[in-house]
Homo-oligomer: A and B are copies of this chain.
Amino acid sequence: MSRLTGASRRLLRYYEEQGLIVPDRGANGYREYDDRYVDRVNQIRGLLDAGLPTRIIKQILPCLDKPRSIHFPDATPEMLALLTAERDRLTERIDVLIRNRDAMSEYLTEVGLCRALAPGSSQGTPNSPSVVSATS
């Protein structure tokens, strides 16, 4: 499993500890990871990478599960509110990230152009789309 997902053994145990995954156990006590856990773990890592804490991930994960239609029943209103809020937060973050990424790209292309031209006269566009702003 660790090899399949790139998550260390310890990390898998941690996710389990946090209730994000619940692998079966063999008679010998060994964890037995269903194949679907590969996707699951990858998704968890994606969400963690997105900055969601494990406690939130635990909440929204069931909703994002595979055979989507089956999961409608257990969606409480609070869950939906939470999901909506998290989605909006995510959208804000995405915007910030995109702005910063574009600023980096802009800088890079400017430098690239400058490099491609004469290496002595540097006078780029003196504008400043300013990158700024945070979410939290």
Contact = CB atoms under 8 A, between A and B. Distances in A.
Contact of A49 (B63, B126, B136): B136
Contact of A104 (B83, B100, B105, B124): B83
Contacts of A132: 39, 42-43, 46
Contacts of A105: 87
A107 B45 contact: no
A57 B87 CA distance: 26
A50 B122 contact: no
A135 B49 contact: yes
A40 to B, nearest CB: 9
Given A122-B72, A126-B67, A132-B39, A46 B90 contact: no
Interface of A: 6, 39, 42-43, 45-51, 60, 63-64, 66-69, 72-73, 75, 80, 83-84, 86-87, 90-91, 93-94, 96-101, 103-105, 107-108, 110-111, 114, 122-128, 130-136
